[in-house]
Structure 1
Amino acid sequence: MQSRPSPVPFPAASAFPKALSWVLVACLGAGLGIVALRPGQAIPAEDTPMEAVAVVPATVTALGALEPEGETLGIAVPSSAQGSRVEQLKVAQGDSVEAGQVLAVLDSYEVRRAAAVRAEQDLRVAEAQLAQVEAGAKNGAIIAQQAEIQRLNADQQARIASQEALVNRLVAEENNAAVELGRYSKLYDEGAISALERDSRQLTLEAAQQNRQQAAAELVRLQSTESPQLLAAQATLAQIAEVRPVDVALAQATVDRAQAGLQQALVDLNQTVVRSPRSGVVLDILAQAGERVDAGGNLLELGQLTQMAVRTEVYESDLQRVAVGQPVQVSSAALPQVLQGQVVRLGWKVQPQSIITTDPSATIDARVVEVQVALDEPSSAIAQRFTNLQVTVEIDTQ
């Protein structure tokens, strides 16, 4: 017969309690060690101390706004024309303009243009009067006055000749009277005539002598003096031919005053025309034709879109990590792609944040520093139609 194997013997009942005791002691010790450690405290390894290492982000993220380089320029009407009405608007939104180009004409243009034309005419009249004074009298006037003097001279010579003839005739009469007196005196001595007849001839001789003396005296006066008419004519000729410095100075002062009036009229006229102070693109029209522009109001907004920039507001705590020349990426849901640029200028003052995000959990009273970012040429071309767009700016600080 085949015998069955002997069964394996079981340990004695006293051995189980002892082994279980050792297991419980080991578990209890481990539990007490775990409880002794603080929550979150790592178990220190023996002979290998650990040091904490701070992780510095590779970028600085901030909010910004797209704008033309040099900022947007508000074009206002001249101060003297404030309150005027826009008569003509010469540009439209999106038009490119050059420096000095006419943007608008105000309603007072025609009135001031007429004043400028009148001032120009006044200047021409004053200049003509100055030329007339400097040139003296007209040649025709001088020639006519000279002819008048010649006529008066001829009259004077004719009077002298007539007086000389009279004197000669009176001398002859005197001589004849003397001969008659001599003949009658002889007849009286012979007793042929009475004393009365002799005395009559004596009186005739004396009268002839007086007439001759008076005519001779008048002849001397005519020969030694000129007639008042001739003297007046000569004075008139000297007056019209003379160019007096005082007359020239007065005419020149009139010209200067007319020139000043013209300059003032042109300045007033220029105040009615709004011109572009620089080249750029019309971003917005703020007043249409027929509307009035009050004090402090702008007519339109102008920007230079060939070079676009981003006005970025960097938190003051991040400024020390930002430097000129660092590359920048600009993004927005409205942009077709991420724009590229670089930091070109850091602000000099800390100021309150002005570009606010729509996130309600974001800080809205933070202190920031403006950092100017210039976009490259391809990015500027894309950003031209997005002036004032709020964007997210990521500055690579590595």
Structure 2
Amino acid sequence: MGMTGLRWSRPWPWGLAVLGGLAGGWLMLPRPWVRVEPAPVVVVTPATVTALGYLEPASRVIQLTPPTPSDGGQNSRIASLRVEEGDWVTQGQVIAVLDSQARLQAAYQEAAANLALAQANLAQVLAGAKPGEIQAQKERIQRLIAQRETERAAQMATVNRLQAEVDFATTERNRYRQLFREGAESQSLLDSKELNLKAVQNQLAEAQANLTRIERTVQKQIHEAQATLAQIQEVRSVDVQTAQAEIQIRQSALHKAQVNLEQTRLRAPFAGQILTVYTRPGEVVGTNGVVALGQTQKMTAVLEVYETEIRKVKLGQTVRLFADSINEPLWGKVTQIGVIIQRQNVINSDPSENIDSRVVEVRVELAPQSSQQVAGQTNLQITGEIQP
């Protein structure tokens, strides 16, 4: 029977399904002869931060400037300079003297003399009057008392005498009055006795008035002299307080004069080395001051780290430093990270570098050996590598 006219069914979808199942099973079978390689582990190493910088003393560079005159004087002018560049100075050593010293020295001496005068015045107030003045006043009182007694005694004698005359004249008048009544004496003689009695009575009244006046006048003089004596002997608290207040004022003036005088001597605030002299004798002190001072025996590094990399810098990180003038690297640790973003000051010789970059200052404390190696090399340009 021939194949012509036979109709075949389409078996290929079923065949594909069978082949797919066989292939999947084969893939799921273990294959010990195939080696699977592990995925590589990628380790990210933090990058080293590189920055330019310079060296400076650990104390930093201090520009010594005299204070502004507080007495209204003119700008400071140097009279004498007692150091030169490179000299070592001790703390408190006089570096320069201003030309206002002579004038302020005289003002100080005047203030000291005024204080001494105020102290002497207080001593005088506390001591009271001089012994000679007190004795003289006592003697005057004694003289007034003696004068009173003498004048009083003399006047009392006069009063007593006149009183006796009054008594006698009264007796005479009474006798003649009796005789007149009896007709033994005339009216005219009686009248004369009356007139004589009145005259003597008037003299007695005048003498008694003089006695009272003497007692009052001299007694008043005695009281005044005694009051004067008490006054010169008394030490009044108000006088003492006034004298003490005057001393305090003079002491304040002396202290001010002493401070002004001391400011004419420019002293070193710490022991160190004179790095630069800005002002010479005869010159007016400018904005840079007189000298620059630093403790160059212990140096530190200042690195200018770009603001984009400052987050990578941490306190305590190790730093390696290089400079063209030293053969071996210097070592140190980060001790301070600035908080101000500022313009870059240290640049290299590559003209393509951005000289207007924004940086943060990082201070690096050098190891003792490295610090000794570059002692005194202030402003030496360096390159620093802050290790991660």
TM interval, short-chain normalised: 0.7 to 0.9
Contact 2:333/2:365 (<8 A) preserved:
yes
Secondary structure of 2:290's partner?
A: strand
1:88 aligns with 2:83: no
Q: Cα–Cα, structure 1 residues 368 and 219, in superposed 2: closer, same or farther, change >3 Å?
A: closer
Q: CA deviation at 1:223?
A: 4.7
Q: Cα–Cα, structure 1 residues 150 and 52, in superposed 2: closer, same or farther, change >3 Å?
A: same
Equivalent position of 1:265 in the other structure: 257
Is 203-212 or 338-347 further displaced after alignment? Answer: 203-212
1:230 aligns with 2:222: yes
Q: Distance in 1 between matches of 2:266 and 2:251?
A: 24
Measured against aligned partners, the alpha-carbon deviations of 1:38-57 in whole angstroms (never above 9, x if no partner) come to xxxxxxxxx98997968747
Report 1:53-132 matches (<5 A). Answer: 56=45, 59-80=48-69, 83-132=75-124
Q: Distance in 2 between matches of 1:162 and 1:273?
A: 81
Equivalent position of 2:232 in the other structure: 240
Equivalent position of 1:386 in the other structure: 377
> Of 331, 338, 347, which aligns to 2:329?
338
Q: Distance in 2 between matches of 1:224 and 1:371?
A: 99
Q: Distance in 2 between matches of 1:48 and 1:93?
A: 71
User: What is the letter of the counterpart of residue 51 of structure 2?
Assistant: A
Contact 1:82/1:293 (<8 A) preserved:
no
Equivalent position of 1:159 in the other structure: 151
Equivalent position of 1:19 in the other structure: none
Equivalent position of 1:358 in the other structure: 349
> Of 152, 155, 163, which aligns to 1:171?
163
User: What is the letter of the counterpart of residue 50 of structure 2?
Assistant: T
Q: CA deviation at 1:393?
A: 1.9
Q: Distance in 1 between matches of 2:37 and 2:175?
A: 185
Q: Distance in 2 between matches of 1:332 and 1:131?
A: 72
Q: Cα–Cα, structure 1 residues 165 and 59, in superposed 2: closer, same or farther, change >3 Å?
A: same
Q: CA deviation at 1:125?
A: 1.3
Q: Distance in 2 between matches of 1:256 and 1:337?
A: 65
> Of 201, 204, 221, which aligns to 2:196?
204
Measured against aligned partners, the alpha-carbon deviations of 1:90-146 in whole angstroms (never above 9, x if no partner) come to 222233334433221100111011011101111221222233234332232222112
Q: Distance in 1 between matches of 2:171 and 2:42?
A: 164
Equivalent position of 1:33 in the other structure: none
Contact 1:84/1:107 (<8 A) preserved:
yes
Q: Distance in 2 between matches of 1:57 and 1:314?
A: 16
Give aligned-pair identity as a percent: 44
Equivalent position of 1:216 in the other structure: 208
1:137 aligns with 2:129: yes
Q: CA deviation at 1:341?
A: 1.6
Q: Cα–Cα, structure 1 residues 368 and 218, in superposed 2: closer, same or farther, change >3 Å?
A: closer
User: What is the letter of the counterpart of residue 112 of structure 2?
Assistant: E
Q: Distance in 2 between matches of 1:312 and 1:222?
A: 106
Consecutive unaligned residues of structure 2, counting only runs of 5 or more, are 1-35
Measured against aligned partners, the alpha-carbon deviations of 1:306-327 in whole angstroms (never above 9, x if no partner) come to 3211001233454444332233
Equivalent position of 1:326 in the other structure: 317
Is 237-246 or 136-145 further displaced after alignment? Answer: 237-246
Equivalent position of 2:364 in the other structure: 373
Q: Distance in 2 between matches of 1:351 and 1:123?
A: 54
Contact 2:147/2:218 (<8 A) preserved:
no
Q: Cα–Cα, structure 1 residues 353 and 56, in superposed 2: closer, same or farther, change >3 Å?
A: farther
Consecutive unaligned residues of structure 1, counting only runs of 5 or more, are 1-46
Q: Distance in 2 between matches of 1:245 and 1:375?
A: 68
Over aligned residue pairs, what C-alpha RMSD do you find? 3.4
Contact 2:297/2:376 (<8 A) preserved:
no
Q: Cα–Cα, structure 1 residues 280 and 108, in superposed 2: closer, same or farther, change >3 Å?
A: same
Is 282-291 or 355-364 further displaced after alignment? Answer: 355-364
Contact 1:305/1:380 (<8 A) preserved:
no
